[in-house]
């Protein structure tokens, strides 16, 4: 057998290898390249979608916080609006105050309206709140020291009520109780 001649079997092998190489080349050139380009485009779109989703998550968390904050502000505003009294509704305020005092075992012995401390302070009050004016009420109270503290804490939850002055003295008849002279400044709405 000569070195330059190929047998039929070898020709079949060479032809099979050539056809396989052409098929692989055509597959890489036309099919796999299109799939690879499509894969790159899809991965870019997926990265962009991932960024958009993370931004959406951040924005949705921010939005949820805004909704919660709005609800808290709305609730606190409604609570404040419930606690706004006018000159005509002072008896209603005093009734609510009496119920609050009873719940803390504070006895209100006497209530007296007071005149504002000075004209200078009145001018300052007008500058601070044009829709409200202060009403000073003086209360003679009988209670234990801790109950008085709880009562004052409950009173000052209302932003329109302020303990202006308080004098505490021991009760001569009951050593466990104190007599307190409390002056409240209540902002009432002008009407």
Considering the domain architecture, whether residues 89 and 181 belong to the same structural domain is answered as: yes
pLDDT over 60 at 123, yes or no: no
Taking CA atoms, 139 is separated from 14, 68, 101, 129, in Å, by 115, 39, 11, 24
Percent pLDDT > 70 in the chain is 84
Considering the domain architecture, whether residues 67 and 133 belong to the same structural domain is answered as: no
Lowest mean pLDDT among 37-51, 59-73, 78-92, 143-157: 78-92
pLDDT over 50 at 50, yes or no: yes
Residue with tokens 């690879």: 36
Residue with tokens 């055509």: 26
pTM for this model (two decimals): 0.53
Taking CA atoms, 2 is separated from 6, 9, 14, 15, 145, in Å, by 8, 15, 17, 20, 124
Considering the domain architecture, whether residues 36 and 71 belong to the same structural domain is answered as: yes
pLDDT over 50 at 127, yes or no: no
Element (H, E) at 59: helix 33-82
Higher pLDDT, 59 or 4: 59
Domain stop point among 21, 54, 82: 82
Report residue 92 as tokens.
């209603």
In which domain, by residue range, is 178 found? 85-189
Residue 177's nearest CA partner among 147, 155, 140 is 147
Domain stop point among 82, 112, 142: 82
What average pLDDT score do residues 72-83 get?
66
Question: Where residue 131 falls among pLDDT bands split at 50, 70, 90?
Answer: confident
Does 40 map to a domain?
yes
- From the centroid of its chain, how far is CA 85? 27
Does 152 map to a domain?
yes
Phi then psi for residue 174, to 5 deg, are -130, 110
Query: Can you tell me the distance from the alpha carbon of 2 to that of 153, in angstroms, rounded to the nearest whole number?
Result: 115
Domain stop point among 64, 82, 100: 82
- End-to-end, the C-alpha distance of the chain in Å comes to 125
What average pLDDT score do residues 44-73 get?
88
Lowest mean pLDDT among 18-32, 114-128, 139-153: 114-128
């Amino acid at each position: 057998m000569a070195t330059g001649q190929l047998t039929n079997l070898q020709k079949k092998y060479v032809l099979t290898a050539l056809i396989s190489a052409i098929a692989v080349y055509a597959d890489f050139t036309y099919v796999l390249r299109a799939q690879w380009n499509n894969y790159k485009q899809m991965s870019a779109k997926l990265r962009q979608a991932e960024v958009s989703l993370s931004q959406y998550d951040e924005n949705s968390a921010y939005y949820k916080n805004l909704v919660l904050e709005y609800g808290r502000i709305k609730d606190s505003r409604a609570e404040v609006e419930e606690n706004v009294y006018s000159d005509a509704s002072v008896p209603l305020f005093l009734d609510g105050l009496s119920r609050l005092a009873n719940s803390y075992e504070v006895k209100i012995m006497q209530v007296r309206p007071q005149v504002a401390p000075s004209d200078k302070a009145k001018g300052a009050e007008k500058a601070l709140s044009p829709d409200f004016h202060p009403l000073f009420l003086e209360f003679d109270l009988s209670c234990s020291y801790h109950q008085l503290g709880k009562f004052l804490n409950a009173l000052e939850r209302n932003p329109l009520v302020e303990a202006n002055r308080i004098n505490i003295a021991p009760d001569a008849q009951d050593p466990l109780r104190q007599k307190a002279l409390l002056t409240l400044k209540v902002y009432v709405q002008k009407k």
